[in-house]
Amino acid sequence: MNFVEILGGDILRIISYLGELSYESARAFKKIFTEKFRRRLVVKHMIEMGIDSLPLVAIVGTFIGMVMVMETALTLRKFGAESYVGGIVSLSMVRELGPVMVALVVAGRVGASIAAELGTMRITEQVDALESLGVDPVGYLVSPRLLAGLIVLPVLNLIADILSIVGGYLVGVYMVHISSAEFWYQSFKYIQVRDLIAGIVKTVVFAFLIVNASSNEGLRASGGAEGVGKATTRAVVNSFFLIILMNLILTAIFYFL
């Protein structure tokens, strides 16, 4: 009975969290269209999420492309099919690895920052000050970040996809000794419009989840510096979980339904 009670309590907490997150997410998304457009805030958050994250995304994307060529070439060489390495790398990055990798990098870097910043504002009563002035904290703090994330993440994903193919090209041509023309031909032969749309949709959904999950934890923070630290940890963990879960659901929708 204790096991059932603990399991049931965890399930109820997950359902409650998802319901609260869905409500707050819908509210933040609505504020994008109903509140005053704060261009400076949106541009500021786009720089923080996009330009500041670009070096890490570029390095990780390039290295993933290189590693994928190394790993797949060893296996395909046994069957004399190493020329298909380019297609495997490009298709894997566009469909799955690109969106997920970019989302995880942004969640770890930007999501933690959002939770810590908003948590500090909650602890120091700056959020209460905004409310006393008649400013909606969600419209002022969350919605500009959400809009910036929805714009920036698809661009980061596109850059990561391109750089991963370039990294794979360097390894494939100069280490595996695949012809340059064959590599580029295979890289773009199997990519369809549906794959590109799936990657864009995934990054948009992931941006939605990262910003709202991190903001939600930050605005709920309590208990001083320790509370801010716990909120930051929860924001990153919850974002990672939601990204993996939603990736599973979206992949099933795009390719199996």
Q: Distance between alpha carbon 77 and the CA centroid of its chain, in Å?
A: 34
Scan for tokens 């939601």, then name that residue.
Answer: 242
pLDDT at 201: 93
**Nearest Cα to 235, choosing from 213, 206, 205?**
213
Q: Which residues of 182-217 are buried (b: 16+ CB within 10 A; e: fewer)?
A: bbbebbeeebeeebeebbbebbbbbbbbbbbbbbbb
Task: Give the C-alpha separation, 142 to 95, whole Å.
Answer: 29
pLDDT at 7: 82
The domains of the chain are located at 2-256
pTM here is 0.89
Range of weakest confidence among 4-8, 86-90, 137-141, 232-236: 4-8
Tens-place pLDDT, residues 48-103: 898 999 999 999 999 999 998 888 887 887 777 777 888 888 888 898 889 999 99
Q: Which amino acid, one-letter code, is at 233?
A: T
Tens-place pLDDT, residues 110-156: 999 999 999 998 888 888 888 888 888 888 888 999 999 999 999 99
Task: Give the C-alpha separation, 183 to 83, whole Å.
Answer: 7
Count of other CB atoms within 10 angstroms of residue 100: 20
Asked if 123 and 222 touch (Cβ cutoff 8 Å), the reply is: yes
- Cβ neighbours of residue 12 under 8 Å, at least 6 residues apart? none
Average pLDDT, the chain: 88
The three-state DSSP-derived secondary structure of 116-167 is HHHHHHHHCCHHHHHHHCCCCHHHHHHHHHHHHHHHHHHHHHHHHHHHHHHH
pLDDT at 3: 79
pLDDT at 133: 83
Q: Distance between alpha carbon 120 and the CA centroid of its chain, in Å?
A: 23
| Token representation of residue 149 | 């994330």
Q: Which amino acid, one-letter code, is at 2?
A: N
- Return the percentage of the chain with pLDDT > 70, whole number: 100
pLDDT at 1: 64
Count of other CB atoms within 10 angstroms of residue 249: 10
Write down the number of H helices and E strands in the chain: 12, 0
Q: Is the pLDDT of residue 233 over 70?
A: yes
